Amino acid sequence: MSTPFYVSPQQAMADRAEYARKGIARGRSLVVLQYADGIVFVGENPSRALHKFSEIYDRIGFAAAGKYNEYENLRIGGVRYADLRGYTYDRDDVTARGLANVYAQTLGTIFSSAGEKPYEVELVVAEVGAEPEGDQIYRLPHDGSIVDEHGSVAVGGNAEQISSFLDQRHRDGMSLAEALKLAVQALSRDTNGTEREIPAERLEVAVLDRTRPQQRKFKRIVGRQLVRLLGADDAAVAKTDDPSDEAAEE
């Protein structure tokens, strides 16, 4: 194979972007939604130990699609950044906006430096406020751009389709059970429009719950609580259009 002497910057960037996008598209998509009491993260993940969602700081959560080792590296960098900042100044001085900026700079520098391969990741950084108006959700694509999102956001290979599905159906003030069911519905739709079923044990769900008495608002939803929220029987989940199971919410 021969190496061309000159590649235009446009072409080089386009190639790198395509490379990153393809990498991200290999994994499953995930969604992040606002609901009445906070922000919920939902994704399909057969692993119990390797998480797509995690806690960064008191009110800040992290979600990532793409290459595990790369986003894990960024996640730990973010935890270090947040803990160091909170230790140097104060816990209130750690914000999602600050963290998203640092991630954007990091991803941007990696994306445009010729010596490094671009990261095949797409991140979401979310912070739950004391009131729903204070919630912040930032989406960070592989190239280091930063998008301020509201209501719902999807990242990963099938993100565009899922996003438009969610945009039509998501509304403010949904209960956790409603938001969760909507998210699962969105994730269950394949590119060709057919629906498949995602059993509860293949779902990874976490919330930033502003009503938690603890300072740390991040919580994983697993096991019985998850099944309860999805409605008693899994088979019904994919079909449920009108989730009215208020009592299921804890």
Partner 1 sequence: MEANTRSTGRLPAAFLTPGSSSFIDFLADHSPELLPGNRRLPEGIVEAPHGTTIVAATFPGGVVLAGDRRATMGNMIAQRDIEKVFPADEYSAVGIAGTAGLAVEMVKLFQLELEHFEKVEGATLSLEGKANRLSTMIRSNLGMAMQGLAVVPLFAGWDEGKEKGRIFSYDVTGGRSEEHGYAATGSGSIFARGSMKKLYRGDLTEQQATTLVVQALYDAADDDSATGGPDLARRIFPIVTVITDEGFRRLTEEESSELARSITERRLEQPDGPRAALL
Q: Which residues bind to partner 1, rule: CB under 8 A?
A: 49, 51, 54-56, 73-74, 76-81, 83-88, 101-103, 105-106, 108-109, 214, 216
> Please, what is the minimum distance in Å from the beta carbon of residue 200 to partner 1?
20
Q: Which is nearer to partner 1, 35 or 71 (CB)?
A: 71
CB of 247 to partner 1, least distance (A): 24
CB closer to partner 1, 22 vs 87: 87
123 DSSP β-pair partners: 64, 140
Distance CA 66, CA 26 (A): 7
Looking at the Cβ atoms of 86 and 132, the one nearer to partner 1 is 86
d(CA 245, CA 249): 8
| Shortest separation between residue 127's beta carbon and partner 1, angstroms | 16
Instruction: Supply the minimum distance, in Å, between the C-beta of residue 24 and partner 1.
Output: 19
Contacts of 17 (CB under 8 A, 6+ apart): 118, 142, 143
**Residue closer to partner 1 (CB basis): 96 or 154:** 96
Cβ neighbours of residue 11 closer than 8 Å, sequence gap 6 or more: none
Torsional class of 173: left (φ above 0), alpha (ψ -120 to 50), beta (otherwise): left
